[in-house]
A and B are shown apart, each in its own frame.
Chain A
Amino acid sequence: MLPYVWLVPALPLAGFLVNGLLGRRLGKGVVALVGPGVVGAAFALAVAIFLALLRLPAHERLYELDLFRWIPSGDLQITAGLQVDPLSTVMMLVVTGVGFLIHVYSVGYMREDPAFWRFFAYLNLFTFAMLVLVLANGFALMFVGWEGVGLCSYLLIGFWYEEKINCDAGKKAFVVNRVGDFAFLVGMFLIFERLGTLDFTDAFAAAPERLAMGGAAAFWIALLLFIGATGKSAQLPLHVWLPDAMQGPTPVSALIHAATMVTAGVYMIARAHVLYLLAPAALGIVAVVGALTALFAATIGLVQTDIKRVLAYSTISQLGYMFLGVGVAAFDTGIFHLVTHAFFKALLFLGAGRVIHALPHEQDMRKMGGLKAKLPVTFATMFVATLTISGIPPLAGFFSKDEILWAAWAAGRNALWVIGFVAAGLTALYMFRLLYLTFYGEPRARRLYDHAHEPPASMRIPLIILAVLSAVAGWIGITHAIGNPLGHVPNLLHEWLEPVFAGAEPLRAPATAETASLAAEYGLMAASVAVALLGIGLATYFYRRRPELPARIAATFPAAHRLLERKYYVDEIYGALVVRPYLALCAFCWRIVDEILIDGFVVKAVGGAVGFYSRVVARLQTGLVQNYAAAFFVGVVLLLGWYLLR
């Protein structure tokens, strides 16, 4: 089975080619078949590969398929190949699985769109790129997927390209991602320079001996790669593109900007965990940035009114958790949250998409309300997802998020735990706010409300499947603290990923004993559930009981409210500090340096001087014979005199 792994990315690629080249002529029916079909097939194949891998002994679960020599140049030999191991298999399953559901959902969602074929072409291309990213056998090929998904993100955000705002958002996403990619590239260069290879297996094998533990090289490699990850995964300070990316069609938001692409940074760090373990300082930065992002985004999520923007900030926040997880060296935990988040966040987006679809293109929650009755399935599934994200046991989010917080605590990063803890409460608060504003209360815009209707089945079934997954997916990673009392329920994910991370075990700083006590674990668990409930309670109080209160609070603290509403003015700061100065500098280079300094002072000056002297010389030619004779005579005197002066 394993040798056929190339088919997993190849299928979506084929789908892309078919839809992209012929889609317009094939008609929506065929496209709707091909588009999700190839991803579904890829998913089936991925499952088969998973099973095949499962049959192997744990430590032989690594399959490398070399496809072709891609860039051979001197001592740089880059071979394009696929690497199947437990980690990439998890990612592959998520990408194809969630991807398939979203493809199916999109058939309904995009039905009316004239560029239906184009949408599926992009979506297939995205799936292909994402699979390349997760299956790549080295940094270079990973970068192909890395930028490929970025491209698809760009194309899909600006899918409705006739609106300038969409295109701006797409461009912003691409450019901000490129900033990260820049660091990623430099990191790669440093890896090649230090380790002499970009191949994962070789690089990670060479790293412990070539890179000093905690040394500068390891630190910079890890940090640069992480900056790359902040771009792709919308972490501080490169998070600005993700909220804007909500301009894209909602399935895109679900697939790319929630479930898969944005988690690539987490995957990359997990993949390169060897390097990170060699650079504890960098890993610490990862954790801090993750935690801060989690809190930062959660606070913004409190006041946003656009349903998708709330979800976007929620995504940023949840990604922060994942980074916090990997940042405290709990790589499997980060991946765990990645998986559960993929389910529930995709679900939330799809649900939101249904809401938007139902109220044609209305995303402002202030104009919603009371939709529970109109969209019961949507409401039900979204409710599950909201509970999950809030961390209510035994839903998936509880297990994964709590494990991250525990890992942070266990690693002795108590401050980070506190931040994560607060963010957890805020998460529950803003998610329930969303839920209440959307589905409860009186319809605030009657005209829209009347228009609302349940969409077709193709959009309903993926919701239900995802809701189920959101609920139960946590059980694959039940922490031992819970699993052991329940009769030694195994932490399946942990065990599955164990071979991947085991090799790096010796690099891990030993966990301090006193923080790792079981009692503490239970206590913290309880605390986080409590804070989630508190959040829910507050939300209920503010948005069900006293709906007028939020506005009053906002009026009481106008500065704080405004700060949150304007997203801490990050966009404005970037505009003032980066974008506008940059454009001004560009204009300066053009108008001043190019046109005045180089062309004017040098080129035109030379031309001008030539012209000037040309006229001078010509004017000396007066037409008077005696002047000519005088010049002649002076010439004679000078020539003779020259010998005297010599």
Chain B
Amino acid sequence: MSVAEAIFYLLGGLAIGSAVLAISAPNPVASLLFVVLAFFALAGLFVTLDAHFLAAIQILVYAGAILVLFLFVIMLLNLGSALPREWLAPPPVLILATAAGAAFLLVLFFVGYRGLSVAAPLPGALPAAAPAVSGTTEAVGLALFRDFLLPFEVTSLLLLVAMVGAVVLAKRER
């Protein structure tokens, strides 16, 4: 096992583990913190994929801003403890949901990764000749402002809408 692989498995295991804990922790705050942990692990994985800019964004924006917003809301609404009747869903639901999730993985694997045919090569081998790309801030920035100019501008509208929307929804009634 190479170092890269070791890092991958470590971070991957951390991401899955904290994600599982996040969705099973009764306390929302704990849940949230596990998600933050998972996002850190993901940021690490981004780094292993040479997506440095995104790794930073993942931590700064996603974990740092968005999830903190969640935390604010939890605190604001004083929801820092589990719902009265809930820890997790009742076992039958849990089993069924897990089964469905497993089924999803299975079909996704067979349809997507194996392409309905066992003999098909895995996508890992796909871009044999692909040049290595590096997600530096400069590269991503160039792509954003040149190739993806219009989408970038659209996000401005999107954020404005979200802002206005949040105000409309959350302000106290007259």
Q: How far is the CB of B118 from chain A (nearest CB, A)?
A: 12
Query: Which chain A residues lie closer than 8 Å to B111 at the CB level?
Result: 640, 643-644
CB pair A637–B107 under 8 Å, yes or no, is: yes
CB pair A643–B108 under 8 Å, yes or no, is: no
Query: Which chain A residues lie closer than 8 Å to B95 at the CB level?
Result: none
Does A636 reach chain B (CB closer than 8 Å)?
yes
Q: Which of A628-646 contact B (CB under 8 A)?
A: 630, 633-634, 636-637, 640-641, 643-644
CB pair A644–B110 under 8 Å, yes or no, is: yes
Dominant SS among interface residues on chain B:
helix
- Residue of A630, A640, A644 touching B97 (CB-CB under 8 A): A630
CB pair B100–A644 under 8 Å, yes or no, is: no
CB pair B104–A633 under 8 Å, yes or no, is: yes
CB pair B116–A641 under 8 Å, yes or no, is: no
- Chain A positions 613 through 640: 1 when the CB is less than 8 Å from some CB of chain B, otherwise 0: 0000000000000000010011011001
Determine which residue in A637, A643, A644 has the highest number of CB atoms from chain B within 10 A of its CB, and name it. Answer: A637
Bound Cα distance from A641 to B96, whole angstroms = 17
CB pair B97–A641 under 8 Å, yes or no, is: no
Q: How far is the CB of B90 from chain A (nearest CB, A)?
A: 12
CB pair A637–B97 under 8 Å, yes or no, is: no
Does B154 reach chain A (CB closer than 8 Å)?
no
Contact A636 to B116, CB < 8 A, known contacts A644-B110, A644-B111 = no
Bound Cα distance from A633 to B97, whole angstroms = 9
Q: Which of A456-484 contact B (CB under 8 A)?
A: none
- Residue of A633, A634, A644 touching B116 (CB-CB under 8 A): A644
CB pair A637–B100 under 8 Å, yes or no, is: yes
CB pair B100–A630 under 8 Å, yes or no, is: yes
Bound Cα distance from A630 to B92, whole angstroms = 13
CB pair B100–A641 under 8 Å, yes or no, is: no
CB pair A637–B103 under 8 Å, yes or no, is: yes
Determine which residue in A630, A634, A640, A644 has the highest number of CB atoms from chain B within 10 A of its CB, and name it. Answer: A640
Q: How far is the CB of B110 from chain A (nearest CB, A)?
A: 6
Q: How far is the CB of A97 from chain B (nearest CB, A)?
A: 102
Q: Which of B65-104 contact A (CB under 8 A)?
A: 96-97, 100, 103-104
Classify chain B's interface size. Answer: 10 to 19
CB pair B107–A644 under 8 Å, yes or no, is: yes
Bound Cα distance from A429 to B58, whole angstroms = 128
Query: Which chain B residues lie closer than 8 Å to A643 at the CB level?
Result: 111, 116
Bound Cα distance from A55 to B104, whole angstroms = 111
Task: Please name the residue on chain A nearest to B107 by beta carbon.
Answer: A640
Query: Which chain A residues lie closer than 8 Å to B96 at the CB level?
Result: 630
Bound Cα distance from A633 to B108, whole angstroms = 13
CB pair B100–A633 under 8 Å, yes or no, is: yes
Classify chain A's interface size. Answer: under 10
Q: How far is the CB of B88 from chain A (nearest CB, A)?
A: 12
Q: Which of A581-638 contact B (CB under 8 A)?
A: 630, 633-634, 636-637
Q: How far is the CB of A635 from chain B (nearest CB, A)?
A: 11
- Chain A positions 147 through 180: 1 when the CB is less than 8 Å from some CB of chain B, otherwise 0: 0000000000000000000000000000000000
Bound Cα distance from A241 to B29, whole angstroms = 101
- Chain B positions 55 through 69: 1 when the CB is less than 8 Å from some CB of chain A, otherwise 0: 000000000000000
Query: Which chain B residues lie closer than 8 Å to A640 at the CB level?
Result: 104, 107-108, 111
Bound Cα distance from A614 to B70, whole angstroms = 41
Determine which residue in B100, B103, B107, B111 has the highest number of CB atoms from chain A within 10 A of its CB, and name it. Answer: B107
Query: Which chain B residues lie closer than 8 Å to A644 at the CB level?
Result: 107, 110-111, 116
Bound Cα distance from A399 to B93, whole angstroms = 108
Bound Cα distance from A405 to B137, whole angstroms = 132
Bound Cα distance from A248 to B96, whole angstroms = 87
Bound Cα distance from A641 to B107, whole angstroms = 6
Contact A637 to B116, CB < 8 A, known contacts A643-B111, A644-B110, A644-B111 = no
Bound Cα distance from A644 to B100, whole angstroms = 16
CB pair B100–A634 under 8 Å, yes or no, is: yes
Q: Which of B128-173 contact A (CB under 8 A)?
A: none
CB pair A636–B110 under 8 Å, yes or no, is: no
Bound Cα distance from A637 to B103, whole angstroms = 7
CB pair B104–A637 under 8 Å, yes or no, is: yes
Bound Cα distance from A641 to B99, whole angstroms = 14
CB pair A636–B104 under 8 Å, yes or no, is: yes
Query: Which chain A residues lie closer than 8 Å to B103 at the CB level?
Result: 637, 641
Query: Which chain B residues lie closer than 8 Å to A634 at the CB level?
Result: 100
Query: Which chain A residues lie closer than 8 Å to B107 at the CB level?
Result: 637, 640-641, 644
Query: Which chain A residues lie closer than 8 Å to B104 at the CB level?
Result: 633, 636-637, 640
Q: How far is the CB of B151 from chain A (nearest CB, A)?
A: 26
Bound Cα distance from A633 to B107, whole angstroms = 12
Bound Cα distance from A633 to B105, whole angstroms = 12
Q: How far is the CB of B114 from chain A (nearest CB, A)?
A: 10
Q: How far is the CB of B105 from chain A (nearest CB, A)?
A: 10
Bound Cα distance from A494 to B45, whole angstroms = 128
- Which 5 pairs, one residue from A and one from B, show the smallest C-beta to C-beta distance? A640-B107, A641-B107, A637-B103, A640-B111, A637-B104
Q: Give 21 A-B contacts (CB < 8 Å), ordered by A residue.
A: A630-B96, A630-B97, A630-B100, A633-B100, A633-B104, A634-B100, A636-B104, A637-B100, A637-B103, A637-B104, A637-B107, A640-B104, A640-B107, A640-B108, A640-B111, A641-B103, A641-B107, A643-B116, A644-B107, A644-B110, A644-B111
Q: Told that A634-B100, A637-B104 touch, could you supply 20 new A-B pairs with CB distance under 8 A?
A: A630-B96, A630-B97, A630-B100, A633-B100, A633-B104, A637-B100, A637-B103, A637-B107, A640-B104, A640-B107, A640-B108, A640-B111, A641-B103, A641-B107, A643-B111, A643-B116, A644-B107, A644-B110, A644-B111, A644-B116
